[in-house]
A and B are shown apart, each in its own frame.
Chain A
Amino acid sequence: MTDIIWGTATKIISTNSFEMNVSHQKDTNNDSYQDIEEIQFTEIDIPSIPADEASRNISEIEQNLKDKFVKCEILGRNSENRLVCAVSHSGAGGY
């Protein structure tokens, strides 16, 4: 099973990475994660952020991702110690 963490994107680092405050971890995760992790996203399921990295820019990602609560399905860690994840919107804060 894939490890999953949730939290808010606090800082956009590049067109494919951001810093996240990890507030929730799936009970059955195989690993544990720091309170602050850097995430590199290989997939992002937020329509306003283009899937093609070349079409993205930082301000667009800040507008659509910064301070948002997201779900990260963890695929591994890269050489920069960033978690490599599939990122998607998570749940709703209200109805």
Chain B
Amino acid sequence: MWFPQLYDNYNSTYENLISGEIPAIIIPDVFSKSDCKNLCNKILANQNVTSGPGISNKIGTSISSHIYEKSKYFSNARQSNQLIQNIFSSVESPLVIMRKIITDIFQKQISTAIENSMCYSDAVIRIHNDGDSVHLHRDNSNFEMSEYLVSHFENQLSAILYLQSPSNGGELTIFEKKWNKQDEKMRQPKFGYSSDIITNVSQTRIPPVSGNMVILNPKFYHQIESIHGPKQRISIGFFFGELSQNYLCSWA
């Protein structure tokens, strides 16, 4: 059976995720419910909501929105990082907490990636409303973002912190199938892949519980199930990869 591992047995290794031996590591209660609520009130009051590939409401920029527009990305990243810092001004930054947990689990230091003295985007806050879902996809900067330095980082993973659970739905489904080049023929023009690619493939579902953090290998196909009800699904996330054996760099 292919189940996510709870981070309470301290046996999680980077290799377990890279190899796909486990679909994800769940770290419960890294951010208190009251801090999540305060933060979500600020996020929902923020006017700087934009759209991007696969998502209609997000705060912060990501390289997937600027695959071939590097200078625009770095310019937007500077503003995006400031904006997210402002949102986090009244609470302990969830990004600091997430990085500390990553360091604790994997025994590797982590900081936001820099290229030619320009800082990558720290993170993206994603807001999913009633009826939203995210179609089947994988995230792979090694293949798709070759213009960027981060495309050279090996063993890339993704970290997500759920800040608000939706009323219903919004589970993260991870399929036991890793992307390979031949899968490109199953791409869909705007975003993601044909669902035919995961027919009869094992899967695991992770509910978006506020305060919980999830680390997954984003090269394994995944999707977000439909959100139902008036409460939005709100999460913050970034990618990270190995700059060296003991040092990780992150980006969004």
Contact = CB atoms under 8 A, between A and B. Distances in A.
Given A47-B147, A48-B147, A95 B62 contact: yes
Contacts, number: 76
A8 B185 contact: yes
Interface in B11-30: none
B198 interface: no
B53 A92 contact: yes
Given A94-B137, A94-B192, A95-B137, A69 B62 contact: no
Contacts of B187: 6, 8, 23, 69, 90-91, 93
Interface in B25-67: 52-55, 62, 64, 67
A14 interface: no
B157 to A, nearest CB: 14
Contacts of A64: 146
Contacts of B188: 24, 91
A73 to B, nearest CB: 12
Nearest to B68: A47
Given A24-B189, A71-B189, A95 B64 contact: yes
Interface string A60-95: 000110011101000000000000000001111111
A21 B190 contact: no
Contact of B138 (A7, A89, A93): A93
Interface residues of A, number: 23
B52 to A, nearest CB: 6
Contacts of A71: 189
B185 A92 contact: no
Interface string B143-183: 11011000000000000000000000000000000010100
B54 A94 contact: yes
Interface string A36-72: 0000000001111000000000000001100111010
Nearest to A69: B187
B184 A67 contact: yes
A68 B181 CA distance: 8
Given A23-B187, A47-B147, A69-B187, A93 B192 contact: yes
21 contacts: A24-B189, A46-B68, A63-B146, A67-B181, A89-B68, A90-B189, A91-B189, A91-B190, A91-B191, A92-B64, A93-B144, A93-B187, A94-B64, A94-B137, A94-B139, A95-B52, A95-B53, A95-B62, A95-B124, A95-B134, A95-B139
Given A45-B68, A91-B187, A94-B64, 12 more contacts: A23-B186, A47-B147, A48-B147, A63-B146, A67-B184, A71-B189, A91-B53, A93-B137, A93-B144, A94-B53, A94-B140, A95-B137
Give 4 nearest A-B pairs by CB, closest first: A94-B139, A92-B53, A94-B137, A69-B187
Interface of A: 6-8, 21, 23-24, 45-48, 63-64, 67-69, 71, 89-95
Interface of B: 52-55, 62, 64, 67-68, 124, 134, 137-140, 143-144, 146-147, 179, 181, 184-193, 218
